[in-house]
A and B are shown apart, each in its own frame.
Chain A
Amino acid sequence: MKSVLLMLAFPFVLLASPIESYMQALAVQAKIEVPNFKGFSVQRGEKIFTSKHIGKKGKKISCVSCHGNDLRKSGENIFTGKVIEPLSPTANPKRLSKLKDIKKWLRRNFKDVYKREGTAVEKGDVLRYIQSK
C-alpha cells in the first residue's frame, strides 16, 4: 500500500514548479524569522511593490516605477528606457518560471529600491502579489 502511494506521489514531486518549491523554502525560512508566521500575503506584497523609497540611485522609486501599475502590460526601465516584458505570469508565462531568474531579480531589485536584500517573508509576499496579477 505504502509503495502505491509513493508511486502516485512521485510524479507530483517531479512536477512541483520552481516557484512553488521556492515559496515552500521561503515559508520555512519565514517561520524562523517570524515565529507566528501564518503564510504569505498578497496585501503585504502589494505594499512592498507599490510603496516608494529612496533607492540605490538616491531617487524616490518603487517597483512600479519601472514595472508599471498594470503587471499584465510592459514596463520601462526609467533610467535606460529599455522595455521590460510584463511581470504577470498570466500575461507572460516566462515569468517566475526559472529559479535562477527569480532569485537574481529579487536580490537586485530589492537592493535597487530598498537598498538591502528582502527578508524571506518580504520575498514570499511580493511573489504572491505578482502571482495574483
Chain B
Amino acid sequence: MKKTVIMMLGSMVLCANLAAGEEHYEHRKKSEKMTETDPLYVSECAGCHMAYQPAFLPKRSWKKMMLTLEDHFGVDATMEKEDEVKIKKYLLANAGDVKRVGGEFAEFMRSIPSNETPLSISKIPKFVKEHREIEKRLVTQKEVRSWANCAACHTKAESGNYSERSIFIPNYGKWDD
C-alpha cells in the first residue's frame, strides 16, 4: 500500500514537471526582455560564449548547429542527449523565423538568402554591413578577441539591446555612425 502511494506521488510530480517543461519552451512574448535566462541554455551554451539570443538565426541554422556540436567552431561542444533535445527545442521555438521579432533581429533575418544556412551570426549579411567600418585591430585586440564577443562593445548585448547608444568600443570609445 505504502509503496503504491509513493509510486503515485512520484508519477504526479513527474507529470507536473513535464507540464511545466512544455510551458517553459513556448515562444516568449515580444514585449519580454531578450536576456537569456533559460538555465539549461545558459549552462550548456554560455560557458564559452555569450548566451546569444536565438532570434539571431533561423530555425534551419539552429538545426544544423545542433547536429554539428562535435566540431562547434573548432571546439567540442557535445552534451548529454537529453540536454541536446531540450536545447534544440528551446532554440527552434525562439529562432528568428518563428517568432515575431522586431528591430535588428528582423533585419538580420531578412538579409539571409533563403538558400543559405549560416552558423556564424557574424557572417549574416546584415551583420557584415553593420560592422563594415570597424577596423580589424579593434576586433582582434585582447579586450575583444573576436566578433563572437558581442558584449565587449555592445554594453547591453546580454539584454538584447544592440542600439548605437549602448556601444562603447575598448580603446576607441563611443561609436557615432
Contacts and interface: CB of A to CB of B under 8 A. Distances in A.
A82 interface: yes
B78 A81 contact: no
Interface stretch (B3-11, B23-31, B60-68, B69-77): B69-77
B49 A77 contact: yes
A91 interface: no
22 contacts: A56-B76, A57-B74, A57-B75, A58-B74, A77-B49, A77-B145, A79-B48, A80-B49, A80-B50, A80-B148, A80-B149, A81-B143, A81-B144, A81-B149, A82-B48, A82-B49, A82-B50, A107-B78, A108-B75, A108-B76, A108-B78, A111-B76
B169 interface: no
Interface residues of B, number: 21
Given A100-B80, A104-B79, A81 B146 contact: yes
A112 interface: yes
A25 interface: no
A97 B76 CA distance: 22
Interface of B: 46-50, 71, 73-80, 143-146, 148-149, 152
B156 to A, nearest CB: 17
How would you classify the secondary structure of chain B's contact residues: helix, strand, loop or mixed? loop
A78 interface: yes
Contacts of B152: 81
B75 A112 contact: yes
Nearest to B77: A108
A123 B50 CA distance: 28
A79 B146 CA distance: 7
B76 A80 contact: no
Contacts of A104: 79-80
A79 B149 CA distance: 9
A79 B148 contact: yes
Contacts of A57: 74-75
A79 B145 contact: yes
Contacts of B76: 56, 107-109, 111-112
A131 B148 CA distance: 31
Contacts of A56: 71, 74-76
A109 B47 CA distance: 12
B79 A81 contact: no
A79 B79 contact: no
B74 A78 contact: no
Nearest to B69: A108
Contacts of A100: 80
Contacts of B143: 81
A56 B78 CA distance: 14
Contact of A80 (B78, B80, B146): B146
